[in-house]
Amino acid sequence: MRKGFAYAALLLLPFLVNGQTPNQQDSAWIVDNYTKLEKTIAMRDGVKLFTSIYIPKDSTEDHPILLTRTPYSCAPYGEKKFKTFWDTHLKYYMREGYIMVTQDVRGRWMSEGDFVDVRPFVKDKKGSKDIDESSDTFDTIDWLVKNVVHNNGKVGVFGISYPGFYSTMAAASGHPALKAVSPQAPVTDWFMGDDFHHNGAFFQMDGFAFYSSFGKPRTAPTIVGPKGYEYTTRDNYSFYLKAGTLQGLSKLIGDSVAFWKDLYSHPNYDEWWKARNARVAMFDVKPAMLVVGGLYDAEDCFGAWNLYKAIQSQSPATDSRLVMGPWFHGQWARGDGSSLGNVRWGSRTSEWYQNNIEIPFFNYYLKGKGPKPSLAAATVFFSGENNWKKLPQWPPATAREQLIYLQPNGGLAWKKPGGKGIATEYLSDPAHPVPYTEDIHLNRTREYMTDDQRFASRRPDVASFVTEELTEDLTLAGPVKADLKVSTTGTDADFVVKIIDVYPDAFDYPDAVAQIGKSAGGSYVMGGYQMLVRGEIMRGRFRHSFEKPEAFQPGKVEQVAFTLPDVAHTFKKGHRLMIQIQNSWFPLADRNPQKFVDIYKADEKDFQKAMIRIYHDGDNSSAISLPVMK
């Protein structure tokens, strides 16, 4: 282990050797010490998948194989053109002598076959025509261990985001050579919480930006990527508001994107969606598992938490571990992980993870190098206190659900309120939806996950409830559960619940000013900052069932209960805890017309204003169940 990390330490030193920067040294070393091959590997049904293989020239020992399967291309193509491993921590694997393999998945780029988004797992395969991503992984691994010279017969698989999904499917392949798998920010369930839906609400901005290019069909294997939609404005709030309904957005994307049409054809959590839930494959998993994700991942926060829980419950004998850091999507594999937006973490968390968890994990299982990593079941960074905790389970056994109640006049307390018919009301207008961030952007930001929420607090259609100053630290560890008692004058509604850490106002507060990104310059005043710790949306029609939506009865008090993704955060003494509730989160999520119709087919006339009432009295007590860690 010491030899590998000595190399890593040298690579990180900011010095010049022979006039070269460290990255130039790395690139020259990799090209000098590796050979690149490009092969097409036949699957059991005859379809051939394009595969790039980087093999160490060192033949004095056998080397492990580390595989990534991706829909995002093996580029650059050509055996003389090398992937820029030296720009990421992957260079450390090269120094360790790994055989690095990247494969274009079926139907993408230079691979043959038809591409299917989140292709369903086939549990009982009866013949060569019963293929899925697990069988393609099995066939690929089988070819690699039999045909790549100087391999040691041990294979690992990892990938981030969509490649995280393919890593999950690899774990279900059952190949005996597969010893370690790390799904990172894995796409897991696109209806319940990842990327394109959250609790049934359509995340239109991510969906449109992604599928307007990714979803375009190809006529043959190609190295040329499709072009995305050409926007005429840099203001996404304006763009999606002018697009109007989801029908209007569909006209902009066109008729050629098959999965876009599938999204519209399956508005409820039907069998089609259930087959695309990656967790159904997580039974009797054989390889060691390292599930990795970001606390503040704007794309696949749901996947990492819930994939790990599925492995724990469905495959308890599997050697599985969870790592959650204070990261945006994939930040653990790039940058130093010392900050996100305006918030600073106090250490270089990405580098710590790479050197202390990921590389030792693969080195042990694939190279037999060093002692077995002493990884806790869950290694989780707690923001607020800015500290890693190594826990024997997740959620921690010491976390207890504790109800905190919405109070009259914007209060928030552990005591249940009294009285009758007491509510906070506001008008929700789809023509003026609540923005998800106060700034003007075209692309969805990753920083919104920790953004200052003062802009939302000042809107009349956002209800804010806040505690008194905390007299001691409050640590939350686990899923947050919202239990709202509401009524609406409409027949449908979305509900957004946000958990917010309110910083002290005092000018002498130690963190009153924090530097922000170099591109923005200057500083951001943190006194009074309302840091978003967790936010989630619930499409109200699914309050009783995601399979069978139901309309609201106008004026009737109803329960809307749902679970937010897990939280690992400490609200420090002197801070306050705030809960915000609103009915739109635009253009992150599509607008609910507030009328019970098929939203994917709704017309402009279907969108209507509605008076929303959030109840907080003795009979109808809206509360948030917090996982308080003792």
CATH number at residue 231: 1.10.3020.10
230 and 166 part of one domain: no
- Candidates 495, 463, 466; CA nearest to 580 is 463
268 and 284 part of one domain: no
366 and 499 part of one domain: no
pLDDT tens across 428-463, in order?
999 999 999 999 999 999 999 999 999 999 999 999
Token pair 């600073």 in the structure block, residue: 344
Non-local CB neighbours of 242 within 8 Å, separated by 6+ positions: none
Tokens of 46: 């005859």
Q: Count how many domains the chain has.
A: 3
Report the C-alpha gap between 318 and 275 in whole angstroms: 23
What is the SS3 string spanning 406-446?
A: ECHHHEEECCCCCCCCCEEEEEECCCCCCECCCCCCCCCCC
292 and 248 part of one domain: no
Tokens of 195: 């990327």
Token pair 């209060």 in the structure block, residue: 411
Beta carbons within 10 angstroms of residue 430's beta carbon: 21
431 and 456 part of one domain: yes
Report the C-alpha gap between 597 and 246 in whole angstroms: 12
pLDDT tens across 50-98, in order?
999 999 999 999 999 999 999 999 999 999 999 999 999 999 999 999 9
pLDDT tens across 524-553, in order?
788 999 999 999 999 999 999 999 999 999
Report the C-alpha gap between 615 and 620 in whole angstroms: 6
Band of pLDDT at residue 2, cut at 50, 70 and 90: very low
What DSSP string describes 30-72? HHHHEEEEEEEEE-TTS-EEEEEEEEES--SS-EEEEEEEESS
Q: Residues 299, 355: contact at Cβ < 8 Å?
A: no
Beta carbons within 10 angstroms of residue 586's beta carbon: 20
- Candidates 488, 495, 496, 460; CA nearest to 610 is 488
Residue % of the chain over a pLDDT of 70 = 94
| 589 within a domain of the structure (yes/no) | yes
- pTM for this predicted structure: 0.94
Determine the residue type at 438: E
Token pair 């007491």 in the structure block, residue: 422
410 and 475 part of one domain: yes
Residue 383 domain boundaries = 2-189+276-391
pLDDT tens across 375-404, in order?
899 999 999 999 999 999 999 999 999 999
- Candidates 251, 246, 183, 259; CA nearest to 214 is 259
Q: Residues 464, 615: contact at Cβ < 8 Å?
A: no
Report the C-alpha gap between 488 and 131 in whole angstroms: 48
Residue % of the chain over a pLDDT of 90 = 91
- Candidates 412, 415, 410; CA nearest to 426 is 410
376 and 404 part of one domain: no
| Helix 246-253 and helix 204-214, axial crossing angle in degrees, nearest 10 | 20
54 and 6 part of one domain: yes
Token pair 């008076």 in the structure block, residue: 611
| 544 within a domain of the structure (yes/no) | yes
| 314 within a domain of the structure (yes/no) | yes
346 and 238 part of one domain: no
Looking at residue 23, what is its pLDDT? 81
What one-character DSSP code corresponds to residue 364? I
